[in-house]
Amino acid sequence: MNLIRIAVAAATLLASGAAFAVGPEPKTPEEAAGKQVFTHCAACHSLDSSKNAFGPSLYNVVGRKAGSVPRFEYSDAIKASGITWTEDNLRKWIADNEKLVPGTRMRHIAITDKAEQDYLIAFLKSLKQ
């Protein structure tokens, strides 16, 4: 049942175009490649610092405490995790979020290729003030 809700929410966001916030123009080839990898995330995550989508905004995520974006209802597991989104924790999350934070509600396609992880993290690092 939860997967059906996730699929409906993602389809709604896709249809509205809200999930495809453009974000900053990449400054390096790594950031550009990461922006392309981000298309896997864009169905649920906003790049707008003031808007959450089905998932929380990923603007300024690197260095942020997990579960701290205002106006987003996180799972108890994320709120209790005590982690900060360091590059290392982001890599673990991207590869297997359930292993990093058992009980999280987020479902995603794991990105296990190290180069794709590097690119995505480079792009996420560019999303800051």
* CATH at residue 42: 1.10.760.10
H/E segment holding residue 125? helix 114-125
Query: Is-contact 47 13, C-beta < 8 A?
Result: no
Give the angle 93-95-68 at the CA atoms, nearest 5°.
Answer: 10
Alpha helices in 17-62 (DSSP H): 29-37
Per residue in 53-101, pLDDT (tens digit) is 999 999 999 999 999 999 999 999 999 999 999 999 999 999 999 999 9
Distance CA 39, CA 21 (A): 10
Is the pLDDT at 5 greater than 80? The verdict is no
Is the pLDDT at 22 greater than 70? The verdict is no
Total number of domains constituting the chain: 1
**Which structural domain, as residue segments, surrounds residue 85?**
2-125
Q: pTM of the entire structure?
A: 0.79
pLDDT of amino acid 128: 87
Is the pLDDT at 116 greater than 80? The verdict is yes
Is the pLDDT at 31 greater than 60? The verdict is yes
